[in-house]
Amino acid sequence: MSQRPRKTVPQLVSILLLAGVSLAAWAAWLGWDQHRDVQPDGTTTGPYAAWQVIGLVLTLPAPVYWAASRRYVAGAVLGTTAGLTVAAYEDWSDDSSGLFMVGVGLVMTGSLVATAVVSVIASAKRRGGRPSGH
C-alpha cells in the first residue's frame, strides 16, 4: 500500500481546517460590521475600524504557526489564503464598481506572503535551525 494517501489526506484536512479557521476569524472580526460611518464633516469611514483589522491580523499567525510546525505547510499557507480570499470576495462582492476585486487580490497576495513567512519560520524552528539559505 502506498504512503501517499496517508500523507495526502491530513494535508487536505489541514487545508480545509485552516480555511475554516480563517473564514471564522474574518466573520468574528470583520463580518458583523457592514455599514460605513458618517463623520461630522460628511466624509465616510469604514466599514471596518483599524482595531478590527489588527485583531484579524494578530489572530491568524497562531493557527498558521501551529499547522506549519506540524508539517502541514500546505494547510497553513493555502488554507489560510483561500479562507481569507473567499471571505473578502463574499464580503465585498456587492460593490457595483468592480474595484472590490483589487482588494480581494491584495488580500490574497498579502495573506499568501504572510503565511509563507510564518510557515518558513515555524518549519525552521521545528528543524532546530534557521531557514535554508541563511
Tell me which H or E stretch contains 87.
helix 80-92
Domain membership flag for residue 51? yes
Angle ∠(68,133,69) on CA atoms, nearest 5: 10
Is position 10 within any domain?
yes
pTM above 0.95, yes or no: no
Q: Which domain holds residue 8?
A: 4-127
Element (H, E) at 24: helix 4-26
79, part of any domain: yes
Query: pLDDT 10s per residue in the chain (134 long)?
Result: 455 666 788 889 999 999 999 999 999 999 887 777 788 888 877 788 899 999 999 999 999 999 999 999 999 999 999 999 999 999 999 888 889 999 999 999 999 999 999 999 998 887 765 555 54
**Beta-strand relationship, 37-38 and 44-45:** antiparallel
Residue that is written with C-alpha cell 493557527 in the block: 63
**132 falls within a domain:** no
> How many domains is the chain partitioned into structurally?
1
